[in-house]
Amino acid sequence: MQSLNDIKSVLNESVTVDALKSFIVTCESDERAGVRKLIDTAKKRIDSIEKELARLKEMRKFENENRQFGLLCGIDEVGRGPLAGPVYAAAVILPEDVDILYINDSKKLSEKKREELYSEIMEKAVAVGIGHASEKRIDEINILQATFEAMTMAVSELSVNPGALLIDAVHIPQLEEYKQISIIKGDAKSASIAAASIIAKVTRDRVMKKYAEEYPEYGFDSNKGYGSKEHIDAIKKYGPCPIHRRSFIGNFI
């Protein structure tokens, strides 16, 4: 007879619905109280996964409605609001039948979960492109136009050509050759856009953490360039550093 620890290890290794159901069948004749609790845990995990799969099905609604265009590319940006640092955009093409559990608008995820999903998206995606525009470029042409440039760069970095673009809320003038489908709050409604939001967010956060080592006074590792009180106080005390957006900080210097 297997020990409870061995059975628990099997449960922990069972990450799919089929594996969990198999675990329950294997253990259902074991009357030990500890095993019955593990079976209950397995049933709860099945329920949780099935609810998540139902949510993901809804997240693929726009993808499923537009399959006639071929490969669909989700696009999103991160960093339009910060006082410092670049704006980043990502373009992601996911396979039709892929399930990436817990994919969502990057703002709704913890940093740990974003990092986990970043790795899974990069592994499973058909193609990923990343673009950015520097703080200097933002000051030159304004944040909206810089965001369009970052998005255009992201699409240009794809290894395959998409048939249509799913975009969070905007229309990109530089990409008129593509069919563009603008979705309000798309990062919470489209799996492809959500994937792009995660890739862009993780990429930009990593860049800002490196800047934090170069300019430690401003706390970029925690605020990522956004206008927290501590960040604004640091600007007033030390003045701007090279990556501050001059067009954003006029009220503080």
Contact yes or no for 121/128 (Cβ under 8 A): yes
Segment 3-58, tens digit of pLDDT: 989 889 989 998 888 999 999 999 999 999 999 999 999 999 999 999 999 999 99
Separation of alpha carbons 175 and 152, rounded Å: 7
Position 3, amino acid: S
Lowest mean pLDDT among 98-102, 134-138, 157-161: 98-102
Q: Please check whether residue 197 is in contact with residue 78, taking contact to mean a CB–CB distance below 8 angstroms.
A: yes
197: CB partners within 8 A, 6+ apart: 76, 78, 90, 105, 106, 107, 168, 187
DSSP of 99-168: --TT---GGGS-HHHHHHHHHHHHHH-SEEEEEEE-HHHHHHH-HHHHHHHHHHHHHHT-SS--SEEEEE
Q: Which residues contact 55 (CB under 8 A, 6 or more apart)?
A: none
Helix (H, G, I), strand (E, B) or coil at 28: coil
- Lowest pLDDT segment from 70-74, 76-80, 95-99, 191-195: 95-99
Q: Which residues contact 175 (CB under 8 A, 6 or more apart)?
A: 151, 152, 155, 165
Q: Roughly what angle, to the nearest 10 degrees, separates helices 33-59 and 17-27?
A: 160
pLDDT at 247 over 80: yes
Q: What pLDDT score does 207 carry?
A: 98
- pLDDT category at 165 given cuts 50, 70, 90 is very high
Mean pLDDT of the chain: 95
Taking alpha carbons only, the member of 113, 49, 29, 53 closest to residue 41 is 49
